Amino acid sequence: MKYESNEHPSALFHFPVAFLLDPRRWRLISSVALDASSFMELVSPLAPALFIPIAATANVGKNVSWLAASASRAAIHNSFARSDNLADVTAKAGSQSIAASLVGTSLGVALSAQLGSEWGPTTLATFATLSSIHLGCTYLSLKYVRLETLNSQRLDLVLQAFLTRRGLNHTNKGENTTSTENKGAASTATASAWLPSPAEVADLESFVPTWPLRGSFHGPGLSDWLLLAPPLPSLAQTPRELDAFRAALRSSENGGNDKHSNNSSNYSECGYVLSVHTRQSVSGKEEAQIALALDVPTTIRGNATEEYSESVSTLRGVLHASILRRTLGSQGIHISAPGLISSTTAGRSSLSGDGDANQWAARPDLVKDTALLARIVGVDFFAGLKESEWKADVLHVDNGLATRAIRQSGIFLE
């Protein structure tokens, strides 16, 4: 939401994308906004002098609510439509809501006629009852929404479950499958079984807005432990800057040592760049930060778009990062919340090497050690994804908050 239009190609579409990718949350936010606005209107008799500001603010809230509801509803209906009947589902939802509002208005008129038209505590109590039923029913109905698209949170849940079920072994056979089985068939069958279904993930997904509000607009997800940078080409303003980024990355990936320089590493092949920094935290434990940026190399971009599309590269990168997270976790290294490593700190640490333990140090070796595992697990993951109900072709895991901060801090220019 802090995007400026020249920073990222998708900046213009960022807000609608939030509705589309987290429709349950936004549908609930819409209900809360409606009730809050109605409550403001309800208490307006307490301050009749402030009628205009109160009523206007309440109207703003109602319009926001309407906007959020109608935008998020589209994605919800899409998740229920089985064949090409999205238009039918949407039209019938319109009929349903009109019928409901007719019944509801009649109910409200009947209730208010019963209670008398005098404004007072009874009105407040009735309103409180009605609006809590409203919120409760909306929440319950949203529990049955099983989205098949992936956003930051759902992708994280899918990957966690997948890696737990599969295990981090180098063979592409499951721990329980016997070696006598047909290898190819077994790996496809088990790979899809390792992936959780949309219904399983829907039960795990959290979509209730909580205080403070800023967090409730995004919810938990990858950005809790992974710094998601926008694609490198969009981060650089000029081709020259892009080259500088890439040069810096290549040298940092190779640990600054020339002995690895003939090893092109995964940088030029995977379409993503991972960077890991570790340090001793104040409590003496080792902690790490992981950052991910997409960068499809110039030689690949343009052709082979399927293999190196933004969504495939993102999936590959996030899978690798998740594996890295698990590996580090098993070594007792805590993944800290992605903050920003200022360029001065990062620069000093890479210059001084291991000298100062409290400074962040780039650890390209960790990335390299898990690269082969990531590729092997990736084969299983993509095989399972193809068989599953997940629609992974449209993927947007970047919550957009990191862009400007990264550019300012120059995290990739250590």
Report the relative pairing of strands 286-294 and 226-228 from DSSP bridges.
Answer: parallel
Interacting residues toward another protein by CB under 8 A:
31, 34-35, 37-39, 41-45, 48, 51, 54-55, 58, 76, 79-83, 85, 88-89, 91-109, 111-113, 117-119, 123, 126-127, 130-131, 133-138, 140-142, 144-146, 199
Q: By C-beta, is 50 or 357 nearer to another protein?
A: 50
Q: By C-beta, is 81 or 244 nearer to another protein?
A: 81
Q: By C-beta, is 135 or 189 nearer to another protein?
A: 135
How far apart, in whole angstroms, are the C-alpha atoms of residue 234 and residue 139?
Answer: 38
Q: By C-beta, is 40 or 411 nearer to another protein?
A: 40
Largest CA distance in the chain: 86
Angle, alpha carbons 376-382-385 (nearest 5°): 145
Phi and psi angles of residue 295, each rounded to the nearest 5 degrees, phi first? -160, 100
Q: By C-beta, is 145 or 294 nearer to another protein?
A: 145
Phi and psi angles of residue 290, each rounded to the nearest 5 degrees, phi first? -120, 135
Closest CB 46 distance from another protein, rounded Å: 8
Two structure tokens written together for 347: 């620069």
User: Residue 190: which of 208, 200, 178, 177 has the closest Cα?
Assistant: 177
Secondary structure of residue 132 in the 3-state scheme = helix
Residue 274: in which H helix or E strand, if any?
Answer: strand 272-280
Q: By C-beta, is 203 or 369 nearer to another protein?
A: 203
Closest CB 73 distance from another protein, rounded Å: 9
- Could you tell me if 198 and 151 are in contact, meaning their C-beta atoms sit under 8 angstroms apart? no
Q: By C-beta, is 120 or 339 nearer to another protein?
A: 120
Closest CB 187 distance from another protein, rounded Å: 28
Closest CB 117 distance from another protein, rounded Å: 5
How far apart, in whole angstroms, are the C-alpha atoms of residue 27 and residue 33?
Answer: 10
Secondary structure of residue 149 in the 3-state scheme = strand
DSSP 63-74: HHHHHHHHHHHH
Closest CB 36 distance from another protein, rounded Å: 11
- Could you tell me if 201 and 79 are in contact, meaning their C-beta atoms sit under 8 angstroms apart? no
Burial class of residue 102, CB neighbours in 10 A (0-12, 13-18, 19+): exposed
Closest CB 196 distance from another protein, rounded Å: 16
Q: By C-beta, is 145 or 319 nearer to another protein?
A: 145
Closest CB 112 distance from another protein, rounded Å: 6
Residues 6+ apart with CB under 8 A from 326: 163, 168
Closest CB 54 distance from another protein, rounded Å: 8
